[in-house]
Amino acid sequence: MMDQPTQSKARRLRELLDTQTIVLPGAFNALTAMQIERAGFQALYVSGAALSAARGLPDIGLLSLTEVLSDAASIAKAVTIPAIVDADTGFGPPLSVVRTVQEFEQAGLAGIQIEDQELPKKCGHLPGKHLVQTSDMVAKICAASDARRDRDFFIVARTDARAVEGLDAAVRRARAYIDAGADAIFPEALESADEFRAFARQLAKEGGNVPLVANMTEFGKTPYLTVREFEDLGYRVVLFPVTALRMATNAIERMLVELKNHGSQRGLLEQMQTRQQLYDLLRYEEYEQRDRQFHSMGDDHANG
């Protein structure tokens, strides 16, 4: 229903990164994405962990390309702001990554994130992760870069190497991924502000002059830093991937307890989004107005 911008969302994402640090809250459905846009955020993140949880599954690479593509496309179409999608390990070897990039690009995503874990993958903040060889990940990044039709389509390479091989190895991997065509680097599960600073400085010394992504997830390895603190440490993208889902599921759990205990939702009304607020978010009146216009046009044509 909205007028779509004439420039690509990928181009818009790159322009944002040229001028500021951007905050990407995680969306797990189209409605959440619309709330993110209405709140004034200029981009969003389609979190694999959040999509998995919304489908009742753990974040261990169980979702197929078809499932993630369906959810991500709904999210991207619901908003005018750019969205980066978490594509886990790319859904297979390099030729599969080619298809993955083409499908997400066609679906209206502004970019894609691919990580260097082996399957079955794990949440980046859990122990016991295993990595693919650097050369295997490089091949995937090369495939992703070659597959994009829009050269602005944004490729984020995530490395989980810090917990497996150490910080220096994470820097070396990141440098190789940049050479392969990655537009940004996402070092997962760094454990202190000093580590974030050291990673950024070491990569810069290696000539890795690309935007860096920080993951400010809850209950993980990373300390709670503000967006400004991440910016000061050298990071241009800050993810809050599962924050909205955690808030929503906790609120639903409290509602269900109240309903079971009291047999009524009346005591929770002040905590709810009202009917009118939901209709405003969904642009209900805009849909009805267009429906009336179409019926009026039909009447005009029928009556000659």
Which tokens go with 266? Answer: 């009346």
Closest CA to 177 of 233, 118, 229, 136: 136
CATH class of 9-242: alpha beta
Structure confidence at residue 7 as a pLDDT band (50, 70, 90): confident
Closest CA to 121 of 147, 88, 93: 88
CA distances 260 to 246, 256, 257, Å, are: 21, 6, 5
Structure confidence at residue 6 as a pLDDT band (50, 70, 90): low
Domain boundaries, the chain: 9-242, 249-299
**Cis amide linkage into residue 5, ω under 30° from 0:** no
Structure confidence at residue 302 as a pLDDT band (50, 70, 90): confident
In terms of Cβ atoms closer than 10 Å to its own Cβ (0-12, 13-18, 19+), residue 231 is middle
Phi, psi dihedral angles at 235 (to 5 degrees): -110, 135
Distance CA 131, CA 108 (A): 30
Structure confidence at residue 130 as a pLDDT band (50, 70, 90): very high
pLDDT at 56 over 80: yes
Max Cα distance, the chain (Å) = 76
Do 74 and 29 touch, CB atoms closer than 8 A? yes
Q: What is the pTM of this model?
A: 0.93
* 303 or 200, greater pLDDT: 200
Q: What is the pLDDT of residues 29-47, one digit of tens each?
A: 999 999 999 999 999 999 9
